[in-house]
């Protein structure tokens, strides 16, 4: 697992950002590619040793611009975000997702070294976000309630290498509003995830800079926002994080500078839905 995680650390967020900024030219099932990339982003989570605390939320550890990897010409820009969140019991996953551990165990038992599929990874797409929520069966899971065009919905789950029991899952929904791309994720960690986490986001070969800000919702919650400088395509991104009721919610909004006001309105609409 350590080797696999190390290899995945070289996966570039730029692939995801650029894909969000353009309309696909063909219909060659982009969903699987998107979901695997999203799953790999989740795998970029690492463990850190931190002081014990009862506070839940996110903390920016560092931003970096044009950083060169040791013994390499590889450069990347990005940020590291500490996530403090409680774990949910696997028993709270009451939908058909209860069948997933058996599927993962089967994949692990029958995995061949030359397969590209991650044996502990389960991936499923859905016709709608509501269908996905019913499949998961987690009562506390919230889905954005707004009038945006849904492009697709998918679920990624990673299981224990021995039992197949789910360690964490991510529900991912892609929306589009005019020229604004919106990626909403909800990640839940079960009691099998036994450490604090750091979310690592990076783009290679770009001198991207990042700024931190906060938005206080109508219900007094704090939404953590990391904004990027413009990419070569002209697009900028807002990465927004909010921990609520044991779930990490992450909203990524990709927009042109002319649409920044509309992008911020989407962020506020999304964040204000928590705490109702």
Q: What is the pLDDT of residue 115?
A: 65
Instruction: Report the predicted TM-score, pTM, of the whole model to 2 decimal places.
Output: 0.79
- Rounded-to-integer distance, Cα 206 and Cα 140, Å: 38
- Rounded-to-integer distance, Cα 125 and Cα 150, Å: 13
For range 237-242, the mean pLDDT: 97
Q: What is the pLDDT of residue 271?
A: 97
- Rounded-to-integer distance, Cα 163 and Cα 85, Å: 24
For range 233-258, the mean pLDDT: 95
Q: What is the pLDDT of residue 8?
A: 36
Question: Across the strands, what pairs with 60?
Answer: 81
Q: What is the pLDDT of residue 110?
A: 85
Query: Which band of pLDDT confidence, cut at 50, 70 and 90, is reported for residue 28?
Result: very low
In this structure, of 210-219, 227-236, 259-268, the range with the lowest mean pLDDT score is 227-236
- Rounded-to-integer distance, Cα 10 and Cα 222, Å: 31
Residue 19 has pLDDT above 90, yes or no: no
SS3 state at 131: helix
- Rounded-to-integer distance, Cα 197 and Cα 47, Å: 5
pLDDT in tens, 147-181: 899 999 999 999 998 899 999 999 999 999 999 99
- Rounded-to-integer distance, Cα 47 and Cα 25, Å: 38
Residue 5 has pLDDT above 70, yes or no: no
Our CA angle for 187, 147, 36, nearest 5°, is 35
Average pLDDT, the chain: 82
Residue 234 has pLDDT above 50, yes or no: yes
pLDDT in tens, 44-98: 444 333 333 335 899 999 999 988 877 767 788 999 999 999 999 999 999 999 9
pLDDT in tens, 103-137: 999 998 887 776 657 889 999 999 999 999 999 99
Alpha helices in the chain (DSSP H): 2-8, 13-20, 30-43, 100-109, 129-136, 260-271
């Amino acid at each position: 697992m350590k080797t696999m995680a190390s290899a995945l650390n070289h996966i570039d967020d730029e692939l995801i950002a650029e894909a969000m900024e353009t309309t696909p030219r063909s219909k060659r099932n982009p969903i699987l590619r998107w979901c695997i990339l999203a799953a790999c982003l989740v795998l970029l989570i690492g463990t850190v040793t931190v002081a014990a605390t009862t506070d839940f939320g996110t903390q920016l550890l560092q931003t970096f611009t044009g950083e060169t990897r040791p013994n390499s010409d590889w450069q990347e820009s990005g940020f590291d975000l500490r996530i403090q969140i409680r774990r949910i019991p696997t028993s709270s996953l009451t939908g058909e997702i209860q069948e997933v551990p058996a599927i993962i165990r089967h994949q692990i038992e029958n995995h061949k070294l030359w397969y590209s599929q991650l044996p502990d990874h389960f991936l499923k797409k859905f016709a709608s976000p509501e269908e996905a929520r019913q499949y998961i069966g987690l009562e506390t899971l919230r889905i954005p309630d707004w009038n945006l065009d849904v492009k697709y919905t998918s679920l990624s789950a990673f299981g224990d290498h021995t039992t197949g029991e789910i360690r964490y899952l991510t529900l991912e929904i892609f929306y589009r509003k005019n020229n604004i791309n919106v990626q909403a994720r909800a990640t839940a960690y079960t009691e099998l995830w036994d450490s604090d986490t750091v979310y690592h986001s990076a783009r290679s070969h770009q001198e991207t800079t990042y700024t931190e800000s906060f938005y206080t919702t109508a219900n007094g919650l704090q939404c953590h926002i990391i904004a990027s400088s413009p990419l070569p395509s002209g697009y900028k991104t807002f990465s927004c994080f909010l921990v609520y009721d044991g779930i990490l919610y992450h909203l990524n909004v990709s927009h042109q500078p002319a649409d920044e006001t509309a992008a911020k309105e989407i962020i506020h609409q999304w964040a204000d839905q928590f705490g109702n």
